Amino acid sequence: MFVTYSMEAVLTRKEQIEKTATALFKRKGYTATSMRDLANALGIEAASIYSHIRSKEEILQRVCFKMADEFFDALDAAESMAGPATVRLQRAIAAHVQVLTQNTEASAVFLHEWRHLSEPLHSNFLALRDKYEARFREIIREGIQRGEFSVPDEKFAVLTILSALNWIHTWYKPEGKMTPTEIAENLSEMLLNGLRN
Amino acid sequence: MFVTYSMEAVLTRKEQIEKTATALFKRKGYTATSMRDLANALGIEAASIYSHIRSKEEILQRVCFKMADEFFDALDAAESMAGPATVRLQRAIAAHVQVLTQNTEASAVFLHEWRHLSEPLHSNFLALRDKYEARFREIIREGIQRGEFSVPDEKFAVLTILSALNWIHTWYKPEGKMTPTEIAENLSEMLLNGLRN
DNA sequence: TAAATTTGCTAACGAACGTTAGGTTGTGTA
DNA sequence: TACACAACCTAACGTTCGTTAGCAAATTTA
């Protein structure tokens, strides 16, 4: 059914639609992207999209929850090895950065467009996000207990760390001078040891 | 014309509209907020709003550029005194946090909704933002030259610092346990000296 | 008291929106 | 060769959108 001789991954039509939609959602936002915009980017009519998806929100839902899965999977892998909190935090940061840089468009949707999900998806999503942040809080808490870290409030620390990381998708380009690994290392260095010489 | 016995600032009708709109823009986004939503929040009809403003975009424009002014004014005041880069960065961070916490709703609009401005406002806004970031880059550059800071890339450092700060508007509440000053101090401490004990 | 201004209303406009119904075409499978 | 199905079409639906026109009432100013 699918025959290709290029190196590119073979996408089903539905995946193509999702990918194109994700790019538009990042550039213009979910609400400001019309189905006619999406159709135009795909080179077809708006009505034709409904042969492949049920609704506009279905696209948003799939992108948001797929990315949530990716962040959790990466974090699971990062936390699979034991070690001091400092190292675990470095690994968690590196995992987060890897997912962010691997797909900046889906990341942007994941970070900013989820709020247009209707209930109960909206609540489900927020619950997942909180679970994810809790994993980071747990690392920070352990680091404080073991005397590795010195922060006034672990929730505050986690929000600051994640917000420092979550800006990457706005400027990262694969052809840039820093690789995702280098970005993660620099961020870990800044967040753990600070700017100070 | 305006007589009031309360402590609240007296707002013109236009300012009331802007304030209400700003709250909605933060909660639902500019595009997802209709003029009828705004009218409903004000207790009037949508058409009545046009006695006070020219268009929906005028509101967005005013909020975005007013906040830009506030950020620049605060940074001007913070940089009016000389000193080592470390201290100047601390002051600049404190100024930025003050503006963010003083008006979290307008800050959210400033940070996220500006992209819905049409040309040439869109370009003007981006130019202002870049000018603002350049002021921070200058501080970092000096800090590196004087040996106060040790970072691989000043642009990278500034983006990381600002993105760490710009998340505040999502969780800050005036009745919370940290004052804006304490938040600024904790953030300066984290960014300058890191998490490490 | 008269004039000007502010603030709001109802009714309606044309455009854009997400989506559905029903039909056509081409392609891989039985 | 017949059939199923994926992919896309045209046409249209009911709704919502930002905005305008024209008017009425209240309030402030002269």
Whether residue A4 is predicted with pLDDT greater than 50 in this model: the reply is no
CB B67 within 8 A of CB B99: yes
pLDDT for residue B115 is more than 90: yes
What's the gap in Å between the CA of A107 and the closest CA on chain B? 16
In percent, how much of chain A has pLDDT > 70? 95
- Closest by CA position to B116, among listed B36, B56, B40: B56
B126 in contact with A, Cβ within 8 Å: no
**Chain centroid, CA B59 distance in Å:** 16
Residue A6 banded pLDDT, cuts 50, 70, 90 = very low
Q: Which residues contact A155 (CB under 8 A, 6 or more apart)?
A: A137
Q: What amino acid is encoded at A117 in this protein?
A: L
Indicate the average pLDDT of chain A: 92
- At residue A79, the pLDDT reads 92
Tell me the one-letter amino acid at B112. Answer: H
A163 interface with B at CB cutoff 8 Å: yes
pLDDT at site B164: 95
Would you call A14 exposed, middle or buried from its count of C-beta atoms within 10 A (0-12, 13-18, 19+)? middle
**Tokens coding A185:** 């290392």
DSSP A12: -
CATH architecture of B10-54: Orthogonal Bundle (1.10)
User: Nearest CB to A149: which of B147, B157, B195?
Assistant: B195
Q: How many angstroms separate the CA atoms of A76 and A190, rounded?
A: 24
Distance CA B129, CA B180 (A): 23
Residues in chain B within 8 Å Cβ distance of A197: 147-150
CA B14 to chain centre: 21
DSSP B196: B
Q: For CATH 1.10.10.60, list the domain ranges present in chain B.
A: 10-54
What pLDDT sits at residue A9? 61
Residues A127-176 have pLDDT tens digits of 999 999 999 999 999 999 999 998 888 999 999 999 999 999 999 999 99
- Report the top-level CATH class of B56-195: mainly alpha
The enclosing H or E element of A183 equals: helix A180-193
What integer best gives the mean pLDDT of chain B?
Answer: 92
Interatomic distance B113 CA / C8 C1' (Å)? 29
Average pLDDT over residues B108-136: 97
Residue B139, helix vs strand vs coil: helix
pLDDT tens string A61-85: 999 999 999 999 999 999 998 889 9
% of chain B beyond a pLDDT of 70: 95
Give yes or no for CB of A41 within 7 Å of strand C: no
For B128-178, the pLDDT digits (tens) are 999 999 999 999 999 999 999 988 889 999 999 999 999 999 999 999 999
* CB contact at 8 A, A25 and A37: no
Q: Which residues are within 8 A (CB) of A16 and not within 5 positions of it... i.e. 6 or more apart? A: A42
Comparing A153 with A39, the larger pLDDT belongs to A39
Looking at residue B152, its pLDDT comes to 85
Residue entry with tokens 């209930």: A119
Looking at residue A152, its pLDDT comes to: 85
C-alpha distances in Å from residue B146, one per residue of A13, A131, B142: 56, 43, 6
B49 lies within 8 A of chain A by CB: no
Locate CATH 1.10.357.10 in chain B: 56-195
Give the residue with greater pLDDT, B84 vs B194.
B84
